[in-house]
Every structure is written in structure tokens, then in C-alpha cells.
Chains A and B, each alone.
Chain A
Amino acid sequence: MRRCAQGLALVLILVFTCAYILDDMALLLAGGTLLCALSGQYLLFDHRFRKVVTSIQVQRTPERSQVRKGTTLRVSTTVSVTVPHPMSVKITEQLPPQVVIQDGNTEADAGPDPAPQTCQFRYRITPVVHGNVQFPGISLSVRNAFFENSIDLFSEAFSGPGLVIQPVGFFEPSSRRSSAESREVEKLKVVSGFGIRALREYYAGDDFRRIDWKLSAKHNKLFVREYSGMVTMPPLLIIDLPWRGAPYPEHDLNRMVSAVTGMAEHSIRSFQYVSILIISGPNILHFTPQEKDLQQGIAVLREWMHPVERTVHQYRIPDRADIRGAVRHLEMVIIEGKNSRVNAFSDSLRKKYISMLAHMQVPAFAGQVARTLASIEIDEIYLFTLGCGDSSHIRQVIRQAKIAQMVIHTRIPDARVHIINPDSIYKGADTLETFT
């Protein structure tokens, strides 16, 4: 019952009370007819409410039926509804508790129209818990001038389909797993080089300048060199998006969007394509390899460039190489042996580090980055980050880029340069640049 109907109900009670006390038939008539009007409006509203509910048809289409935990997927829901004249309807898509919504619309309003209306919900969700997930259905709220009613439509006609969410480990599996009779060997994808040179016998018509005279003299037969073609290798743009759950500099994010867009546009114009890897902390959100269409590239950036929900968080996770470096430093201190107390402490710490090294596992994020870098032909990376929050993942990206022998440039907002310590976090990067 809405405010107007509540007020009328109060008037009705007042009129009936006065009629009872004063024993006045005019008051009884006024109250009785008001009761008729309110009851009639309620019955009419209920009748139309049922008509609205029975007219609803829902069709829901997730992008995939099986995803890994933390993967963002697009869902499209079409709701068809017929709304009678004085009613208005609000439809809300209900999401399972195991997912978080990244963006998009899950609410729609529909006004009165005798013809069936279609409402479209397009949104993206990220599962945060593994297991089987079922889309529960929709919520419907119907109102007119006097009454409102809502109902959760979770029956079979409005729910589904199911979504299978595969678990994701926090660490990479060990490279060698062996049991009594079998052994598992995992290899990264081999990327063929682009500077391959072939030698073959001379055929009539070949360019004399390509004859390898030394080899020809050795074998007493003419050999020519086959040069590989020149290829352009555009940079990979890695964009580290801020977490939605923590404060972030909004102004810097806007500038990062401009900087990334400009770089993507420049890359497509200069190199014909661009590769974009979107991460948020230790979560890989989206990867667009070798996008040639500028509009598509801009659309991807427009779709993703906003704070997102993170399913995995890291806090000051050291790298194996860092630990090994610390061990080497402690060994040097022990060898120098200036102070016995310092030596004892360094030795104890070294042992702790060594025992840590024995049990340290590679984070899954580092493995994902390594596989991503191995799948494309690049030699230069631009990493855009706001530099807020934990930076363990930045370190892992830089480390994997250096392992793959790529040049990596990190770009942060100029306002953050004075806050972060570039020596500790970004020391592996080739350059630390700012965007304004």
C-alpha cells in the first residue's frame, strides 16, 4: 500500500469511528463507499499484477557455460512483459551470490503499454567462488497510484541456465611432478623467431647479390641466402586497473585512460595492430592479441577501463629471485665477518630464507603472464598502473618480461612518482615514465 492509499485508509478509519460514535448514516455512507473504492482498487490492482506476472518471459544467455573462477563473462538477459495502463513496472535481474557484477545494467523500468515490451539487461559478472551456479531469476515490482507489490520470480521458467565455475589455484603447479610410474613435464609454447635465415641451392633467376660465396666455394656449388622478411612488432599494452573496493585517484585513472587510448591508437596507426592485456592486481581480466581494428580496440578499452572487482589479492609476496638475492647478500655479510653478532643474525636469517626457498611456489598469476607473453610476438611492453595498493603483481609482470627478454616501460601518474619508491618496486623495469 502506497502513501496515498495509507492516507485514505486512515480517513476511512476516522469516518467509521465517527459514524459509530455519532450513529450517523451519512458518515456510514461516506465510509462505506470509501471502503468500496479502496477494496475495488486493490482487487483491480491485484488482477493486473497477476496479468503482468503471467505475461513475463525471460531468456538469459551467458557468454559461456563453463568458466574459471575470476574470469569475467558477459551475460545478456531479455525480459518480455506486458504492462496494463495505469501500472508501472520495475524489473531487477537477480544474481547468484557466488558472482560479483563488474558493470552493465541489471534494472529496467517499463511504463504502461498494451503491447508486450522487451527489456534488455547486458552486464558482466566475475565468479568468485567455484562450483555450480544457477541464475536465480528476476524480481518484479509493480505499482500504481495506490498500491505496489513485488515478487521474486525464481521458478523454473525465470531461472537458469546453470554455470559451471572451475577452481583456480593460487600457485602454479610444480614443473615436474612424478609418481611411481609416470612423470609430468609441462612446457611453454615455443615462439618461433622472426630472423630465420635459410640457405638453398642457386636456381636460374636468383639475385647474384644473395649468393653466399664462401659456402659456394666450400661445396663447389652455388648457394644463395634466403632472408626472412621484416616484421614490425608493436608493443604490448598492459593495463593494471584499480580495485573497486579501495579508494583510488579518479583523476589519475581518467588520465591513464587517455594515455592508454593514445598509445593504442598510435600503435595501430604505426604497426597495424596492438595487443592489450588488462589486469587488476594478480587477476588477468582480458587479453586482446593483435587487434587490427582501431574501433574494436577503443571499444575494448571503453568496456574495461574502470575499477573492477578482484577475486585474488596479493600482499607483499616476494619473488624467488628476491629471496635468492637476499641470501647472496647475507652470505657476503657473513664472509666479510666484521661483527660476530651480525654474523649470527645473518646466518640465522639466511637459513630461514633457504628453508623458504625450498617450499616457495610460483604464483598462478606469474605463470599466466608468462604464457600470455609467450603466445605473441613482441619485444616491448608498456605497463600502465596507478601505483596504488600492493605492487607484488607489478614485480611479477616485470620479472616475466625480463625472463622473456622484453623491454618493459612502466608508466605511472606523475602525482604518484613522489609517493612510490621506484627502486624497490619498479627496479627491474627498463624505464619508469609518467603520464600527465
Chain B
Amino acid sequence: MLEAKNLSKTYSSDGLDYVALKQVDLMVNRGDCIAIVGKSGSGKSTLMHLLACLDTPSSGEVIVEGSDTSKLSERSKNGLRNEKFGFVFQQFFLNGRDTVFENVVLPMRIRGVSGPQLAAEAGEAIAAVGLTDKAMKKAKDLSGGEKQRVCIARALVGKPQVIFADEPTGNLDSATGASVEDMLFKLNRENGITLVIVTHDEDLAGKCGRVVEMKDGYIVSEKVKEAAAV
């Protein structure tokens, strides 16, 4: 599904180079639930951004379904993110003045879907996170857990193959965090959506099938849990 080959990323500022990612190789298979862990500055977010085609590598390749993304145009990468990927961020990035519905349908609108199809797919995604009765509420009036569920619905609405979650429970208390986690794992188990979770929460990482630990831009260890997918 996703593959990083000899991936490096160097940031330059004021003439100083900072190597955030050093020759990383990683294979993400369809249906995987993979946690990327590490301290801040370890390169875990950079790796996720590169895998999600949000950023371009300094060297190496990101291969999505067998094709090298460095050869794709900006437009194709936009299309790829829009149709195959979903995103959940720690900070939600919801538009508080808009309704839950409007927030959820954003990827569909970007894709150019409208009318009954838009309403149907949005309804499905909102139902999947249990917010049907709040679909017409303003996003700012929701609790933190509900907000993150809206984000999951937004990530889910386009029927993506991969959901990238960057510290999805970072802003939530442990009880609501747990319910958000359950929701993500359920999508992985039942819908076969590949999950790539960036976190420094060890409990969350422990529930994932694979845990990739990063340090100083390198992958230092990878643990595979035998019965994760059950």
C-alpha cells in the first residue's frame, strides 16, 4: 500500500541544514494498523507527512500502490490525498461557525461531489461516528470528544484507504480519548482501512498491530503484535 524507500528529509533555514529523516525504509501493508512513536523531534511527524504526500522528500521514494509519488504532478497528489487518504489531527481544524455536516463534507466538496450523493455519504460518515442527531449543530458547540469524532467522520467520508492520525487523542481526556481510539480501530478492523497513527502515547501505540519507534530521524525498532487484527 505505502512504502518508504531510503527516505530522507532535510530542512534548511538560515543556511543551516537540519536532517529530520535519515534513510528510512518502511512498508505499510493494506489493512495495517501502524503506530509511529518517538519523542518530539524524532522525525515521526515528518515521516507521516511524507507518506501522506503532504511534503516532498529530499531524497528517496514514497511509493503509493506501486507508483513513485515523486513522479506525480501536484494535481495528482492532491487527488491522491483527497480520494485515498483521510486525516485526523490533534488540533481538530474544524470550522466552528459551520455545522457538523459542512465540516464533514469538506473533502467531498473539494472532490466536486454535490447533491444527493454528498448528503448520502455525509450521512453515512456522521452516523458511523454516532453524531447523526448533531449533524446540523455548529461545530463550536460540541465537546472535545465530539469534535474529534467529527474529524473522524471527515476523514472517513471519502471512503479512504488510509487514515493518517496525528496525535488523535492528544487533546482529549483519557475516557473520551479511549472512545475515539476504539472508533479508529473499529474502522481498521471492520472496514479494512489502513491506519497510520503518530503518537507518543504508549497506551495508544500498544493497541496497534505494529509499532515503529523513531529516534533522531532513524527507525530504531519495530514491534509486531501477533494477534492485533483480531
The reply to whether chain A is a binding partner of chain B is no
Chain A residues within CB distance 8 Å of chain B: none
